[in-house]
Amino acid sequence: MSNPSDFHYPIRVYPTGNTVVFLDVDDFPIPKHLDPQTIRQKIKRALENRGYLGDVSVRLYGDKNTLPGKYSMDKYADAGIEICLVPEGEGVMYTGGTLMLMDSYQWSLNNPGESNLMLLSKKIKHVDVCGMPLLTFLNMNGSSVLLGEPLSEIRLPSESADWIWKSLSDCGTSCLQS
């Protein structure tokens, strides 16, 4: 008899389901030379190439040092990219990982049924114990959940979603970090 902790849910793709990409720009930086429209187009193309054909939402998470200044926020909004400023400093209640998990739950409530959630953040593994059951719950209730960094602590698909991040550059990961 196999150990229940060895069980992983199968990787699912809901081709016509809504897809959201939550991307932490501290952990998965975006090349500075890309404009918001190009970022959205590259993410959408990467998703289409993998069989995700439904509506796509993109949310970028970071602090005031890693996200675009106020003057560019409109450009991101016009491109269909939402900017989520993560509060920083001592005594801050929500970290980037926690905020992303809360937003993923809210998004899944607003997009019931078969949907695709992709969370690209290395901070997810540092979220309190409530976060892991939440991701498992979302996965079991009609949302395909892929993580930028697979976690052994929870039973989710083991494929990494970091290919979305890598798609932002035609030259691979080496120039993504420049």
82 domain residue, yes or no: yes
Q: How many domains does the chain have?
A: 1
145 close to 166: Cβ distance less than 8 angstroms = no
6 domain residue, yes or no: no
pLDDT in tens, 51-79: 999 999 999 998 878 876 665 788 899 99
Q: What is the pTM of this model?
A: 0.80
State CA 157 to chain mean position distance: 14
- Mean residue pLDDT across the chain: 76
Reference 105, options 141, 56, 61, 77; nearest CA is 141
Q: What secondary structure letter does DSSP report for 66?
A: T
Residue 43 maps to which CATH number?
Answer: 3.40.50
Distance CA 155, CA 7 (A): 7
8 domain residue, yes or no: no
Quickly state the pLDDT bin for 128 (edges 50, 70, 90): low
Strands 18-24 and 56-62: parallel
94 domain residue, yes or no: yes
Scored b (16 or more CB within 10 A) or e, 28-46 reads bbbbeeeebeebbebbbeb
Residue span of the structural domain in which 148 resides: 14-175
